[in-house]
Amino acid sequence: MSTFEKLSINTATIKKASLAEALDLSVAAGLRHIGLWRDKVAEVGLETAVEMVKASGLQVSSLCRGGFLTAADAEGQAAALADNKAAILEAKALGTTEIIMVVGGLPDFSVSPGAVDRAAAGAGAGDGDGGEASAVVGGKDIVLARQRVAERLAELVPFALEHGVRLVLEPLHPMYAADRAVLSTLGQALDLAAPHPVAAVGVVVDTFHVWWDPYLQQQIARAGAEGRIASYQVCDFNVPIAADALLSRGFMGDGVIDFSSIGAWVAEAGYNGVVEVEIFNEDIWNLPYAEVVDTVKARYAELVEPHLGA
């Protein structure tokens, strides 16, 4: 098996590349998978994106993202359900069973879905990126926010099952709890997934977000035992943290994360699927795309792949 059989480069890593360029780069690099963000699909339209992916011969490892389920008002809740159903249909059309779910922050501070897409695509914290929601009753109540996530998730599960798409919960680093995800640990994600079929709800292990968790080994083992690991995403956690914390991701090996330990835990948990590299970093975005892909491949081969097991 090729060293890069499981490697997938997420379009966020080469965010300035068009969908056509990202597909061509992945094919030229000898990869078999690609991770897509919905903004890249929207740029060309879903029908065209589907045709382009099919023509490339690549398999879409995941679609990012659904989620943002913490709205306190009926209008916001309805909009979230509609957007997530659209994302599920996009994922199905693109041939992936996995839609990554960023569940949303506190109602008073959560970015809108569009703002998150702009941030991931390169907009800074001053571009409509948080704290703009009108104050609502309980808008700072994180317990209520998490309850709303559970309620909206339960409403989405039947639709996801109907279309053969899995809602993949992504715990985010606690520094994003206010504006992006009230879900901070793998254990929380597994507890939220527990009432639902494995085919409908999974979890993603993203090294950037979970490397610090003192219970990570146990929770990865639990996720494996429960059949919930739907994706393994890797990048490094750079220090000092960037002024825009969203952009503190780095090439594997440039930061603090121990990929040997986490990779071994994921492999021991039985995960043998695709490994996505997803990096938000302004300096990396400004490099030639081919150079980024080459660096990702080299770091993956050195630091990640040897620890993934057979």
* Residue pLDDT, tens place only, 99-114: 999 999 999 888 866 5
- The model's pTM: 0.93
Measured distance CA(104)–CA(109) in Å, rounded: 9
pLDDT: which is higher, 287 or 1? 287
pLDDT at 112: 66
Mean pLDDT of 260-266: 98
Q: Which domains are present in the chain? A: 7-307 (3.20.20.150)
Radius of gyration of the chain (CA): 18
Neighbours of 75 (CB within 10 A): 8
Question: Is pLDDT of 9 > 50?
Answer: yes
User: What HEC string does 78-123 produce?
Assistant: HHHHHHHHHHHHHHHHHCCCEEEEECECCCCCCCCHHHHHHHHCCC
Measured distance CA(61)–CA(89) in Å, rounded: 15
Measured distance CA(41)–CA(184) in Å, rounded: 28
Sign of the C-alpha dihedral computed for residues 176, 192, 116 and 49 taken in this order? positive
Question: Is pLDDT of 63 > 90?
Answer: yes
* Residue pLDDT, tens place only, 120-174: 444 433 333 444 445 666 789 999 999 999 999 999 999 999 999 999 999 999 9
Give the angle subtended at the CA of 60 by the CAs of 310 and 87, to the nearest 5°.
130
* Residue pLDDT, tens place only, 200-259: 999 999 999 999 999 999 999 999 999 999 999 999 999 999 999 999 999 999 999 999
**List of residues 6+ apart from 245 with CB closer than 8 A:** 175, 176
pLDDT at 2: 82
Measured distance CA(249)–CA(278) in Å, rounded: 8
DSSP reduced 3-state for 133:
coil
Contact predicate 304/295, CB 8 Å: no
Contact predicate 203/188, CB 8 Å: no
Mean pLDDT of 48-76: 97
* Residue pLDDT, tens place only, 71-102: 999 999 999 999 999 999 999 999 999 999 99
**List of residues 6+ apart from 57 with CB closer than 8 A:** 27
pLDDT at 1: 63
Torsion angles phi and psi, residue 119, rounded to 5: -65, -45
pLDDT at 113: 64
